[in-house]
Structure 1
Amino acid sequence: MKKESISFNQWSGHSSPQKILVIRIQALGDLFFTFPLIADLKQKYPNSKIDLLTRSDYAPFAEKMSLFNQVHSIPINIKSRFQRFINIYASIKLALQLKKHQFEVVIDLQRNENSRLIRRYLNPLAWTEFDRFSPQSALVRNQQSINLLGLEYLEPNFSFAKTIPSQQKFMKLLDQFGKNSNTDVVIINPAGAFENRHWPLERYIEFINLWLKKHSQCQFVILGVDKIKQKADALQARYPEHVINLVNETSIFEAYQIVLSAKLMLTEDSGLGHFAWLSGVNTVMMLGATRHDWVAPIGQHTYCFHSGDLPCGDCWQFTCARHDNYCMTRLTSHQVFDKANALYSQK
């Protein structure tokens, strides 16, 4: 297991810190993992101004959350052989802008070359860094890292999701399908980043067939971007009365509003899937090659299919060494249906 020293300096002030900066640049799911703890930090320090630094395409979403005083963003550039130098330049430029805010505490939940550069230039009175390598959930590692500051002990606070208003545009869309706000929504999210995080399309079809036999009044919804469009189009074409295809039709925040209206989400390893379970939505997650000790959902409202039982499991690789994506293809539609139905049916 790779190890790297974590730098932190505890808060020694006699009063609460006035200005706190949280840094989480990559990736969307990892940003979501910070929210329950920031919610508790905000509740315990209501007079502190908590800012966020994240990547530019996530900033509009974060700005709509009630957690942050201000959201600062850093541009994400197209990969090139000069990428490292471009990122360093952007970090230095941003650090110069952030210096004027006089942050007393910096919580670096990214912990890479650029976030460390920014933190060191800001020279806060107290700081802490993310533990990137311990075999524990990202939520737990975020919690442990923040608690190193010596402030009041933080626990995950999932109530932040309750402040998000419903998506009225989606409610009108349900009406067009002959449904209403009382209709149970099931979200299908085939959005794994790599092929060894993908459940085969034919298994999704089998799952929907099984589901509609038992829950015929449910409405399936698919959210996301171009990378899942082909699967979404295929499922909508096969079930035109039961599948609403909203791929490329929503912002991240609008998608999240719709997720909050769902009774269940069936998801591959993706940001939206993590947002679902972190917000209390019943979630069945299929991780494939992703390390389950880092990102598996937690709670009685979740179930996780992972590959930790396989000799090659939790490999964290982009492609399957076996060339058959076994950690996903071994999952049958009946297995997934049984776990999803159990969560759906629990009170």
Structure 2
Amino acid sequence: MKDSIQNILMIRRGAIGDIIFTLPAFYMLKANFPNSKISFLVKDNYAEVLKGFPGLDQVLIIKKRDLASKRISQLWKMSSDLYRTVQQNHYQLAIDFVGHGEHAFFLWLSGIPHRWGSIKTPKPLRQWFYTNYFIRELEDTHLIDQHLMLLEKGGLTRFPVKNQYVIPQENMNKATRLFQQWGLSVQKPTLFIQPFTGNGVAGKIWPLECYEALADYWNERGMQIIFGGGPAEREKLSNVAGRYPVAAGEADFVTSVGLASLASVVVGGDTGLMHAALAAGKRTVMLVGPTNYKRIGPYQHPEWAVRPQSGNLIQDIRVEQVLEATNIAFNDLGI
């Protein structure tokens, strides 16, 4: 099969963390098919994340606005345009990392000979449309490893796992300039705080005042502090901005990962930037509430997760726990 594969399509429309979780699978595909072209299908509002996938040949965009449309004509045009693009690219292998029914049918209809799907729960009809599938029911196995199991089941060799998010030099330059504008030094220990999750899921966001207490504690001990966040979160951090540098509204996602990479330790909840920072080689402290830290927590480092000592919401995590975890992280780095 390997000799016949020249064009590969990966599918994960979003969100940021879920896209980052496909990174080791991307490297595994490149190792097994070194001469093949790899494309990635993603929603337009998440396409920027793929800048950290080195050697990705093409990004196919689905507009979020079109997906949300209730107009049959608009949905039909989107589907028709995508169908033509897939046909023109002559993919021999497609890997669907979410396993939606419409994806399975679309890939079958497109005539791609090898169609692999990662399915959340058993779906007999959906499974029929894939030529290879893996059901993600292993509760204590990280999603990254379950994606790799799908590729292994398809006959690919599982080389040593590579989970490396590569920040383009342009974004690193922007991050360095922001450091300078804020009067920070890359030579001094820095704590990067990511206080919000991208989708604002209840029970996953630690109270902002707790993050502020964490920042104040380490600032008093000589650490530089940066608060991250998306453009929409700038207003929420208006009070913080009076005391600490705030990247929200000043740095795009990839540049924010660059800022995190210039920091010593990155702390935050279960959100995309945290997973990207870890893949960029940073020591993270991840606060995990209602979700399974073994399944979605810090990859290959479950000990870096901070969980409630009682209850299962992130709000149940005490400030003292995070202070201890960040102290361990700094000590690990010899700071």
**Which TM-score band applies after superposition, normalised by the shorter structure?**
0.7 to 0.9
Match of 1:38 in 2: 26
Alignment partners' CA distance in 1, 2:100 and 2:15: 13
Match of 2:260 in 1: 259
Match of 2:126 in 1: none
Equivalent of 1:142 in 147, 151, 156: 147
Query: How many residues of Structure 1 are paired with residues of Structure 2 in the alignment?
Result: 314
How many angstroms does 1:284 deviate by? Answer: 1.0
How many angstroms does 1:227 deviate by? Answer: 4.4
AA in 2 matched with 1:152: T
Alignment partners' CA distance in 1, 2:276 and 2:76: 30
Q: Which segment is superposed worse, 249-258 or 268-277?
A: 249-258
SS in 1 for 2:228: strand
In the alignment, structure 1 residue 195 sits paired with structure 2 residue 202: yes
AA in 1 matched with 2:193: I
Answer yes or no: is the 8 Å Cα contact 2:308–2:317 preserved in 1: no
Alpha-carbon spacing, 1:206–1:85, altered in 2? closer, same or farther (3 Å): farther
Task: Kindly provide the CA deviation profile for residues 274-312 of structure 1, in whole angstroms up to 9, marking residues without a partner as x.
Answer: 1112332111111222343431113349611246974xx
AA in 1 matched with 2:237: A
How many angstroms does 1:125 deviate by? Answer: 2.4
How many angstroms does 1:71 deviate by? Answer: 0.7
How many angstroms does 1:202 deviate by? Answer: 2.0
How many angstroms does 1:30 deviate by? Answer: 0.2
Equivalent of 1:172 in 174, 177, 188: 177
Pairing 1:70-89 to 2, within 5 Å after superposition: 70-77=58-65, 82=70
Task: Kindly provide the CA deviation profile for residues 55-94 of structure 1, in whole angstroms up to 9, marking residues without a partner as x.
Answer: 1122244256323111111111278683899657633431
Alignment partners' CA distance in 1, 2:31 and 2:309: 36
Alignment partners' CA distance in 2, 1:84 and 1:196: 36
Match of 1:153 in 2: 158
Task: Kindly provide the CA deviation profile for residues 157-176 of structure 1, in whole angstroms up to 9, marking residues without a partner as x.
Answer: 02453776662233233233
AA in 2 matched with 1:221: I
Match of 1:331 in 2: 317
Match of 1:117 in 2: 105
Equivalent of 1:209 in 208, 212, 216: 216
Match of 2:298 in 1: 297
Q: Which segment is superposed worse, 293-302 or 78-87?
A: 78-87
Answer yes or no: is the 8 Å Cα contact 2:230–2:252 preserved in 1: no
Match of 1:219 in 2: 224
Alignment partners' CA distance in 1, 2:83 and 2:161: 29
Answer yes or no: is the 8 Å Cα contact 2:257–2:276 preserved in 1: yes
- In terms of fraction of residues, the more helix-rich structure is 2
Alignment partners' CA distance in 1, 2:305 and 2:75: 35
SS in 2 for 1:117: helix
* Normalised TM-score (structure 1): 0.80
RMSD: 2.7
Match of 1:51 in 2: 39
Answer yes or no: is the 8 Å Cα contact 1:103–1:122 preserved in 2: no
Answer yes or no: is the 8 Å Cα contact 2:230–2:249 preserved in 1: yes
Question: Where in structure 2 are there 5+ consecutive unaligned residues?
Answer: 121-135
Equivalent of 1:236 in 223, 237, 241: 241
Answer yes or no: is the 8 Å Cα contact 1:143–1:154 preserved in 2: no
Match of 1:8 in 2: none
In the alignment, structure 1 residue 288 sits paired with structure 2 residue 293: no
Pairing 1:90-109 to 2, within 5 Å after superposition: 90-109=78-97
Answer yes or no: is the 8 Å Cα contact 1:131–1:142 preserved in 2: no
